[in-house]
Amino acid sequence: MSCNKENKAGTIGDDNPLLATWDTPYGVPPFNLIKNEHYKPALLEAIRLHDSEIAGIAASHETASFKNTILALEESGQLLNRIYTVFNNLNSAETNAELQQIAQEIAPEITKHNDNIYLNDKLFERVKYIWDNQIDMHLRAEDAKLLERKYKAFVRNGAGLPADKKERLRKINEELAVISLKFGDNVLADTNSYELVIDNKEDLVGLPQSIITAAAEDAKAHDKEGRWVFTLQNASVMPFLQYADNRKLRKEIWEAYQNRGNNGDSHDNRINIVQLANLRMERAQILGYESHAHYVLEERMAQTPEKVYALLDEIWAPALAKAKTEEADILKLMQADKIEGPVMPYDWRYYTEKIRQQRYSLDEQELKPYFGLEAVRNGIFMVCDKLYGLKFKQVQDVPVYHKDVTAWEVHDNDDKLLGLLYMDFFPREGKKGGAWMTSYRKQKRTDGKRTAPIISIVCNFTKPTATEPSLLTFDEASTFFHEFGHALHGLLSNVTYESLSGTSVPTDFVELPSQIMENWASDPEVLKLYAKHYKTGAILPDALIEKMQNAGTFDQGFATVEYLAAAYLDMDYHARTEPINQNVVPFEQQAMEKIGLISSIIPRYRSTYYNHIFSGGYSAGYYSYIWSGVLDTDAFEAFKEKSVFDKNTATSFRKNILERGYTGNPVDMYRAFRGADPSIVPLLKKRGLYEEK
């Protein structure tokens, strides 16, 4: 494998693989050739080339047309997009101090470059001319949608503002880009810096042997052989909170977990949050909106903050009531253990696990042998085959960015290559927490020929040990199904324009394909097809499946309340019309008191490590998971009305949702699939929150 030297960037590409033509299998990035020092010069050169392309479009003497302006804009900047995509993906999945520094240096350049496009008066004149005269141009539906997205992007980025406001907008955008990066880096640094080191074996009482073994291997990896190390990675901290009998140590690791970004040191995020929230508000108001939430939601299914709050309020009351009942049950067990209340957050998972075992005779450790990573992966492949006829084939001759990453060809039911899929499963210091899907190349069509997408799933699952393969909790298995739903959205996309393809949809619609996949993870019929014991190959017994079903709504008060609390917190930061002038800790506390959050539960993400909204793309959008939850539970009812593998329903979901990207209105796309608007009832029933009226 090599990188060709001849390319439109000229001789600069001779020594920089990012600027060269990628002579690689499937056109994937040449990860094995890329070095940190290649990124900045490549990005700066790609910006220069894109500037030249934009200047040519804006200076054209031809009357503005869809082809010479909108299509030209769509096709410009491909080199920059290609390089910056690789850089951003690796800065999340395989970062280091050098990459983080480059990100801080390049973010202002990228921001300035984008502003130079959207605040270009001559360019906007051409875009607006086409927008104003589109009826006479008789555009195809997808062309009209692309025009709409381009025109709105200019308007929403300040194209129509006077010069002084444009200048202020530029400064705000630059500050936001840098602070947002800093926020995420701080969370990662605090996550990586903490270790709970255990010397006394008695402090491990209650923990399953697999968790103890993993902790011993973590200790060995950190030069502490003979001891046990627990970290703030979810695969380590959550089992400790769930099983460790030592309440003092549960409290210690919990305090470290919940105080990430809030320790008064160089990684403290409190000031960053105030700056981000206030700058976003100011930007929105410069653009003519009441708040950042109003600005964001205009382009979402929810449309307004009022509609978001209305949905949250509708679910909050029954969820909080259920959580209070769960809290009372925990308190009884604590009192039996001679522990006086109140219930603390570091007690909840521990006693919930005991109640689960007592009430349903269901021990999560009893389930894990049936959810080996390979079995779950094969189960997902099977579901995709039964629904859509997809086939998956692992390939070995593809460059990868880490030895743990695997690559897979994805073929359609007619054996045509749909795309390439990377999968990266295990935590490491250079990888941010959580799970996500991303792409290295999005699907598009050029002259009628489909460009196959390159999609990636990145997770932080339980690692294999010397004695066991990677055995997932059922929650991790559901996460795998979830991210694969996003991957299908990218892989099955079948549109003309990259800007409209795959997951390029509103955030409160993008979670529909991911969340509906979780329903197959837990369906009894599907469980019997994929949940197999990693040693014996035995299928998950009916008795265990029945226990899982009986416990289906167990602890859903807690799960729903901690999620909704985070969604409220996000909205409270971003629906403001006045700047925040206080420390974010009391701000968060007041927000939680306002909704009546009980002290035994904290928001799923506290402010100082809330990456989704302060370092990701979910500001004023974390509610999306529950909004899409209404969609996905209602959509799965369409399958259950026939069968979970009904081909006609699957074909309709593929044609109306998965293939269409953002080529239509999400509301209309959903109605085309379901034949009606979604009902909230299936969601409430699934979470055990529905009461017959």
**Catalytic residue selected from 142, 326, 476, 483:** 483
The pLDDT assigned to 606 comes to 98
- Per DSSP, 395 falls in state E
Higher pLDDT, 692 or 648: 648
**Distance (Å, whole) CA 459 – CA 472:** 12
**CB-CB neighbours of 62 under 10 Å:** 9
The pLDDT assigned to 298 comes to 97
What is the 3 state secondary structure string of 594-642?
HHCCCCCCCCCCCHHHCHHHHCCCCCCCCCHHHHHHHHHHHHHHHHHCC
pLDDT average, residue stretch 38-66: 98
Establish how many alpha carbons lie within 13 A of residue 332's alpha carbon, considering only the half-sphere containing its beta carbon: 9
Cis peptide before 318 (omega within 30 of 0): no
pLDDT in tens, 302-328: 999 999 999 999 999 999 999 999 999
Strand partners, 407: 395, 422
E strand segments, 268-359: none
Reply yes or no on whether the pLDDT at 262 is more than 60: yes
pLDDT in tens, 581-590: 999 999 999 9
pLDDT in tens, 162-203: 999 999 999 999 999 999 999 999 999 999 999 999 999 999
Reply yes or no on whether the pLDDT at 4 is more than 70: no
Establish how many alpha carbons lie within 13 A of residue 91's alpha carbon, considering only the half-sphere containing its beta carbon: 24
The pLDDT assigned to 79 comes to 98
Are 371 and 531 in contact, with CB atoms under 8 Å apart? yes
pLDDT average, residue stretch 498-519: 98
**What is the percent of the chain with per-residue pLDDT over 70, rounded to a whole number?**
98
Reply yes or no on whether the pLDDT at 366 is more than 70: yes
Higher pLDDT, 5 or 187: 187
Establish how many alpha carbons lie within 13 A of residue 39's alpha carbon, considering only the half-sphere containing its beta carbon: 24
The pLDDT assigned to 691 comes to 80
Q: Is 641 a catalytic residue?
A: no
pLDDT in tens, 121-149: 999 999 999 999 999 999 999 999 999 99
Reply yes or no on whether the pLDDT at 1 is more than 90: no
Q: What is the residue type of 488?
A: L
pLDDT average, residue stretch 288-302: 98
The pLDDT assigned to 341 comes to 83
Chain CA centroid to CA 579, Å: 28
Reply yes or no on whether the pLDDT at 6 is more than 60: no
DSSP 549-565: HHTTTTTHHHHHHHHHH
Are 119 and 54 in contact, with CB atoms under 8 Å apart? no
Domains delineated in the chain: 2-160 (1.10.1370.40), 194-258 (no CATH), 270-362+556-622 (1.10.1370.10), 369-550+625-686 (1.10.1370.40)
**Distance (Å, whole) CA 289 – CA 286:** 7
**What is the percent of the chain with per-residue pLDDT over 90, rounded to a whole number?**
97
Q: In sequence order, which residues have a C-beta less than 8 Å from that of residue 597 and are 6 or more positions away?
A: 320, 561, 565, 603
The rounded mean pLDDT for the chain is 96
The pLDDT assigned to 14 comes to 63
Tell me the pLDDT band of 693, cut-offs 50, 70 and 90: low
pLDDT average, residue stretch 461-471: 94
